[in-house]
Structure 1
Amino acid sequence: MSRWLLACLLVLMTGLAGATTPSSEQTLRAVAFEQKVGDPLPPGLSFTNQRGERVELDSLASDKPMLLVLAWLECPNLCSMILDNLALAVGKLPFGSGTFDVVTVSIDPREAPTNSRKAIHRLGQKYGSGVENWTFLTGEEQSIKLLADAVGYRYAYDPERDSFAHPAGYVVVAPGGMINRYIFNTEPSAPDLKLALLEAANGKLGSPVDQIVLRCYRFDADSGRYNLAVMRIIQVVSLIFILGLVALVWRMRRRNGGD
């Protein structure tokens, strides 16, 4: 379901729903986002960041969770919207700077650090200086394709239009480089991103209360969103009640022993 939803959105955003040529229709059929939860990012993939430095992608996810976005930086429609909506949601997260990474990898091998800096400047003007801490990566076609295959990102280049047909979404990567979740909503909410990062961090991010709240939600892989889980809420409330009762009995016994 999510595959067709994303393909339809792409058609609407890029104007390919009109008089499409056979090659354009074939290009659109190649677009998909296959979930590969539990798979690792390919080790040793090297890209160039916005400062012109060579970095290995897996090193960026070594010790903290990552929000990974594959995008065409010069895309006039869908990718700009994806990055804008992500910046808006990330700006509402309660986590401090440096507790997680946001990494955007260009799918166009012709793009360079200048394109990355241009994207950062545009986002920074609209959403503040926090975007400057993001990492934008460009690289060779082989590295891009290896990464895209690893995360299930199916895209295609349309030479007739000199454009890329591609899906939309965000990949949540756990510390160590394992794919943990996919968020397919092109307008991700801050609560969904928060829960996804908490889950990926496995207790290394957020407060104890955040960890309790996380257990009250269930992730829907089809919609890419978190929903309240009634049974989990009952379990959490029951556990809190039992712990409170045990604490009360312990305090009463201690008080009686002191008397």
Structure 2
Amino acid sequence: MRAWHLPAAAALALLFPCAPRAAAADGPPGVEPPALPPAAREVGIDERPGRAIDTALAFEDMTGRRAPLAEHFDGQRPVLVTLAYFRCPMLCDLVLRGLVSGLKRLDYHVGDQYRALTVSFDPRDTPEAAARKRTATLSALGPGGAAGADAWPFLTGEQPEIRALTDDLGFRYAYEADTDQYAHPAGVFVLTPEGRISRVLYGAEFSARDLRLALLEASRGQVGTAFDRVIMTCYRYDPASRRYGPYVMGLLRLGGAAILCGVVTALALFRWSGRRRRQEGAR
């Protein structure tokens, strides 16, 4: 049981940060809620929007080739970054499966409108383990899912580089020696094409709408269609719900623009009709 208890507890602590307080209020008087394991109390994500990660940090890909992270940021496409260790008994696979499930419902394609990157935070992981995890993950994307290695590489690294990257992202995790497992949060980082943190999507399930809007936001509207950019003006990220929702002012602006277009069109038709009647009368 303890092999997967810490990651599960960490995810619950992240997704429901008020749960212990609520349990204390609703439970029997004098009964304390069950405490999280010590390692799980240290995990979480410190949001750092706009912070640039150190793209000079070098990691190994599935073939064992060592290269800086800058290689995966082309200045044109946003990058979805997941942190996972490849022998995780539960939570890492849940996050990766949830991400793949959301991406399958999105009409964007990895390698085209966006790139993805999965980095292990366990220095004992090997390129061979990364290759196996990548194959299992991308095969679930269906036809075209196993894109080129540069579209969604799985990386491993040494402890100093791992610690520097997780610190840049604000990803706090802890090693539990008794179980030889890590307690860690659940989420996906959405980075700009230049490697700055744009948004964090929390949990182990990701809707196509949230993924689309986060990618649009990170690319400043440079990916997607003109319709996508219109939709982006009507939704905003809500920190309370940690989801994208309708943006009232955006909807009002869109409605106002539609009304204005309608009025201009009506006036143009009225003037054209009047000119035509005058021309017919002159005959």
* TM-score of the pair, normalised by structure 1: 0.86
1:75 counterpart residue number: 88
Deviations 1:143-168 (A, max 9, x none): 11111001110001112211111111
Report the equivalent of 2:12. 9
Change (3 A) 1:247 1:203: farther
* CA distance in structure 2 between the partners assigned to 1:109 and 1:243 by the alignment: 58
> What is the 5 A alignment of 1:20-39?
25-39=37-51
Report the Cα distance in structure 1 between the residues aligned to 2:61 and 2:53, rounded to whole angstroms. 18
2:55 partner amino acid? P
Please show how residues 206-245 of structure 1 align to structure 2 within 5 Å.
206-245=224-263
| TM-score normalised to structure 2 length | 0.79
The answer as to whether partners of 2:175 and 2:181 remain within 8 angstroms in 1 is: yes
Which deviates further from its counterpart, 117-126 or 31-40? 117-126
**Residue of structure 1 in register with 2:146 after alignment:** 132
Match of 2:167 in 1: 149
Q: Is the 2:95–2:203 contact (alpha carbons within 8 Å) kept by the matching residues of 1?
A: no
- The answer to whether the 8 A contact 1:50-1:136 is kept is yes
More off after superposition, 227-236 vs 204-213: 227-236
Flag the 1:131–1:222 CA change in 2: closer, same or farther, 3 A: farther
Change (3 A) 1:57 1:249: farther
Shift of 1:185: 2.6
Establish whether residue 88 from structure 1 lines up as the match of residue 106 from structure 2. no
1:202 to 1:254, Cα distance in 2 relative to 1, 3 A: farther
Q: Which amino acid aligns with 2:100?
A: A
Find the residue that maps to 1:180 and give its secondary structure.
strand
Check whether the contact 1:41–1:178 (CA below 8 A) recurs between aligned residues.
yes
**What is the identity, as a one-letter code, of the residue corresponding to 2:105?**
K
Do the aligned residues in 2 keep the contact of 1:182 with 1:221 (CA within 8 Å)?
no
- Separation (CA, whole Å) in 2 of partners of 1:196 and 1:150: 19
1:58 matched residue in structure 2: 70
Distance 1:257 1:89, change over 3 A: same
Task: Among all aligned residue pairs of Structure 1 and Structure 2, give the percentage whose two residues are the same amino acid.
Answer: 33
Kindly tell me: are residues 27 and 41 of structure 1, through their superposed partners in 2, closer, same or farther at Cα, counting changes over 3 Å? same
The Cα shift of 1:105 comes to 0.5
Unaligned runs of 5+ in 2: 1-7, 15-34
Residues 34-61 of structure 1 show CA distances to partners (whole Å, capped at 9, x for unaligned) of: 1111111113011111232223223312
Partner of 1:168: 186
Q: What whole-Å deviation, never above 9, does each CA across 1:113-151 have from its counterpart, x for those lacking one?
A: 111111122224433254423211111111111110011
**Root-mean-square deviation (Å):** 2.4
Aligned to 1:204: 222
Count of residues in correspondence between the two structures: 244
Residue of structure 2 aligned with 1:43, choices 55, 67, 89: 55
Query: In terms of mean alpha carbon deviation, does 208-217 or 55-64 score higher?
Result: 55-64
